[in-house]
Chain A
């Protein structure tokens, strides 16, 4: 397939706007992706034409909404190659998913058990486990990273033992873009009988994991990272785990029978979907997945890789620019600093030129501590970005540096 970038960009209304008088160059895709018109329209279509509460309605429109909502679950199931649709729990996003699992393991684990967290984690995959550990006494161990931003797997090997019950790792690091060898990490964890949760928030916009092939126990992502809306995401869990874990929130939808003495919980997936869910969000999530599949994740990955190479080479020609995270295996993220200039100043001036990047710690303070820096400038590219936009980043960056030097 030819990657028709002009046609693709026409699908994203926001890319036409100006910022501070300049063409908007959006390079903060790791924070959230922009949305194609198909996704945006699906939300208004739902509210205009078939808004109703789902699952319990006797009327036609409620059934239409239910079908669309459950249809989205099937799309997610197929996209990630999951065996059973009820292994897909619709959540508000990755943070919600991780908290749901942490809560589920609260009573399963105790102070004799150990869990392992990768040193590349986002705060959302650190804090819930610390909160859990504070309550059940589980011991947390960390897999450190090396100079390139890769996890040190030799140390990982030495941390694994029969007490290890859970391993948490992100598929792709949000701060550096490193793609972690999750297949290897999962296999090794399974060898000692530990379960693995993979945070796929930064991965799913770039490639399509086959969850059965990976044999992962839990996998989670947020729709807004892959062209879907905010406030919706998914948690995949192997059926055996989801059945073992207690519900996270109580409410409607998640029950099968309620008396004041006792409540019987609903079957999966509803046991974990208390209350009226984000119906329009789930539907739009499904549309976003369709959109990406139409372009083809492999095509997307290929295009982004060539864009990343182009950008890396250009930026490296700037004197005193240091890139953090130079793993052989990384997504289209460039985290960098200019010697003697604070990331915040660069970000502020780039914004004045209409270029949106992220600056700071990227919710990954331990990684910044590892490199001994207070933060970086992060340019994260998506398939709708162009070489021309990289050129604008480059020239704006040069001007910003000359203003600040």
Chain B
């Protein structure tokens, strides 16, 4: 599935929730089920700066596609990271670089992705794109 299609699908899923609590409960569930980063990659070098809770991100290239994995000490941060992984993982570097993560407003995650927020998720998107740049020449 293309990045935009996945985003549309997520927006659809989120539209089913009646209030913020259901939405957060879902994100917490996502956080528990995230594709966890391999222990050997859960190292300081893979930490995203600017988070109140530690957030690790790793990426590897397989058959021309990037596979991301992540982990965080905070479960909500982890849930949002899971959404980002679902959108960007298993995509080609050029698709990742040319994509926009524009559905955020609609699912009410904007507050978590404000550049001034102390959870580092904006830095996570940036780091995901850096990986895409690094891998696009390979």
A interface residues with partner B (beta carbon < 8 Å): 20, 341-345, 348-349, 352, 359-360, 374-375, 403-404
Considering the chains assembled together, what is the distance between the CA atoms of A23 and B75 in angstroms? 26
Query: Judging by beta carbons under 8 Å apart, are A374 and B54 in contact?
Result: yes
Contacts of B21 in A (CB 8 A): 352, 403
* Nearest CB of chain A from residue B30's CB, rounded to whole Å: 13
Asked if residues B20 and A404 are in contact (CB atoms below 8 Å), the reply is no
B53 at the interface (CB under 8 A from A): yes
Instruction: Contacts A360-B118, A374-B54 given; indicate if A403 touches B74 (C-beta within 8 A).
Output: no
A374 touches which of B20, B24, B53 (Cβ 8 Å): B53
Q: What is B's interface to A at a CB cutoff of 8 Å?
A: 20-21, 24-25, 28, 52-54, 73-77, 118-119
**Chain A contacts for B52, CB-based, 8 A:** 343-344, 359-360, 375
Q: Are B118 and A352 in contact (CB under 8 A)?
A: no
Closest CB-CB distance, B135 to chain A, in whole Å?
A: 30
In whole angstroms, what is the CA distance A360 to B53 when docked?
8
A352 with B24, Cβ < 8 A, contacts A342-B75, A360-B118 known: yes
Q: A residues within 8 A CB of B74?
A: 342, 344-345, 348
| C-alpha spacing A342/B79, complex, angstroms | 13
State the CA gap A288–B76 with chains docked (Å): 39
**B20/A345 in contact, CB under 8 A:** no
User: Which of B28, B76, B77 has its CB near the most chain A CB atoms (within 10 A)?
Assistant: B76
A-B contact pairs, 10 of them (CB 8 A): A344-B73, A344-B77, A344-B118, A349-B24, A374-B53, A375-B52, A403-B21, A403-B28, A404-B28, A404-B75
Q: A359-B52, A374-B54, A404-B75 are in contact. Are A344 and B24 (CB under 8 A)?
A: no
A341 CA to B77 CA in the complex, in Å?
A: 12
Q: Contact at B28–A20, with CB atoms within 8 Å?
A: no
Contact in complex: A344, B25 (CB < 8 Å): no
> Which residues of B have CB within 8 Å of A20?
20
* Minimal beta-carbon separation of B73 from chain A (angstroms): 5
Separation of A342 and B51 alpha carbons in the complex (Å): 12
Tell me whether A344 and B76 are in contact in the complex, defined as CB-CB below 8 angstroms, given that A403-B28, A404-B28 are known contacts: yes
Does B20 contact A352, Cβ atoms closer than 8 Å? yes
* Chain B residues positioned under 8 Å from A404 (CB to CB): 28, 75
List B contacts of A403 (CB < 8 A): 21, 24-25, 28
CB within 8 Å for A342 and B73 given contacts A360-B52, A374-B53: yes
